[in-house]
């Protein structure tokens, strides 16, 4: 039985005070409610330590939005797995579409695979590995091919001891920040395809790996998306920036 997970991606938003206030508001409510799912917040890296201090001892896990694939060295501006772990991170998003596709980043599958391997060989963080097709790829009926490629290339030489070692996020690029949410049927079809790939790679472990849906999830559409058999929670952008809407999504699990 897969326990659902709802993760907040705050992206490059909020101030230090705003980040601390938001996690404090979430903590206050979630401490009282004891949610039936796992909850993770991914603040900007510079505020991660402050957010982790507020979340410490609660049910809220803290994650980073990016990591570099080498343990140390002359990599100006990058942060390592160890550095993120040192400041209180226990998850890290890898391969978000804003890093795969946005001008200036263009992270390819080989680079993302290096990041996943660096995280797993260190063993302290759980990667949330993002995959998803562009609108053009969907229109050309290439969604499944793209997902197969991104899963297989991203997980080359990745051995898993347990299904808890990694989380996959299906985030169709056309749905992120656009208000154009995938229908529950579209999400389920993509998740089922990803599940098939994970099963082929990891056997029974693949059945238990959590697959999150991300892309314009709101309090209004969350419950129907989360009710799909292979949708194990969500990666939430815009709606995670306000305590009320994020809590409503957590409750929708």
Residues lying near ligand PEP in the complex (CB under 6 A) are found at: 9, 171, 176-177, 214-217, 235-239
Give the tokens for residue 171: 């985030």
Q: Considering beta carbons, is residue 8 or 205 the nearer one to ligand PEP?
A: 8
CB of 138 to ligand PEP, least distance (A): 16
> Does residue 96 have an active-site annotation?
yes
User: What SS3 state is found at 213?
Assistant: strand
CB of 172 to ligand PEP, least distance (A): 9
Residue least distant from ligand PEP (Cβ): 237
User: What SS3 state is found at 14?
Assistant: coil
Question: Do the Cβ atoms of 52 and 87 come closer than 8 Å?
Answer: yes
CB of 155 to ligand PEP, least distance (A): 20
Q: Considering beta carbons, is residue 9 or 113 the nearer one to ligand PEP?
A: 9
Give the tokens for residue 227: 């009710």
* Catalytic hit among 129, 171, 191, 197: 171
CB of 101 to ligand PEP, least distance (A): 12
d(CA 212, CA 61): 16
The beta strand positions in the chain, using DSSP E, are 5-9, 38-42, 60-64, 91-94, 126-131, 167-170, 210-214, 233-236
> Does residue 185 have an active-site annotation?
no
CB of 130 to ligand PEP, least distance (A): 7
Q: Give the 3-state DSSP-derived string for 230-252, with helices as H, strands as E and coil as C.
A: CCCEEEECHHHCCHHHHHHHHHC
User: What SS3 state is found at 30?
Assistant: helix
CB of 5 to ligand PEP, least distance (A): 13
Q: Considering beta carbons, is residue 74 or 103 the nearer one to ligand PEP?
A: 103
168 sits in the region (left: phi over 0; alpha: psi -120 to 50; else beta) called beta
Q: Considering beta carbons, is residue 4 or 202 the nearer one to ligand PEP?
A: 4
Question: Do the Cβ atoms of 42 and 65 come closer than 8 Å?
Answer: yes
C-alpha gyration radius of the chain: 17
Q: Considering beta carbons, is residue 11 or 202 the nearer one to ligand PEP?
A: 11
Question: Do the Cβ atoms of 26 and 60 come closer than 8 Å?
Answer: yes
Q: Considering beta carbons, is residue 100 or 117 the nearer one to ligand PEP?
A: 100
Per the DSSP assignment, residues forming a β-bridge with 41 are 8, 62
d(CA 38, CA 61): 8
List residues with catalytic annotation: 96, 171
């Amino acid at each position: 039985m897969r326990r659902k997970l709802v993760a907040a991606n705050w992206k490059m938003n909020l101030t230090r005070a705003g980040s601390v206030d938001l996690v404090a508001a979430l903590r206050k409510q979630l401490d009282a409610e004891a949610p039936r799912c796992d909850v993770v917040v991914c603040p900007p890296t510079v505020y991660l330590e402050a957010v982790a201090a507020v979340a410490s001892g609660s049910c809220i896990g803290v994650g980073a939005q990016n990591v570099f694939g080498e343990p140390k060295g002359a990599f100006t501006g990058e942060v390592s797995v160890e550095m993120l772990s040192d400041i209180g991170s226990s998850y890290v998003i890898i391969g978000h579409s804003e890093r795969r596709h946005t001008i200036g980043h263009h992270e390819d599958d080989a680079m993302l695979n290096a990041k996943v391997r660096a995280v797993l060989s260190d063993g302290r963080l759980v990667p949330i590995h993002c995959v998803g097709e562009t609108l053009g790829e969907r229109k050309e009926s290439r969604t499944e091919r793209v997902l197969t490629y991104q899963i297989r290339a991203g997980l080359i030489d990745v051995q898993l001891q347990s299904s808890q070692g990694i989380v996959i996020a299906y985030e169709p690029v056309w749905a992120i920040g656009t208000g154009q949410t995938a229908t529950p049927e579209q999400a389920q079809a993509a998740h089922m395809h990803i599940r098939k790939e994970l099963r082929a790679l990891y056997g029974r472990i693949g059945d238990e790996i959590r697959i999150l849906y991300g892309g314009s999830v709101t309090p209004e559409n969350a419950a129907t998306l989360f009710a799909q058999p292979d949708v194990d929670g969500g990666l939430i952008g815009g709606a995670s920036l306000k305590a009320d809407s994020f809590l409503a999504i957590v409750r929708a699990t």
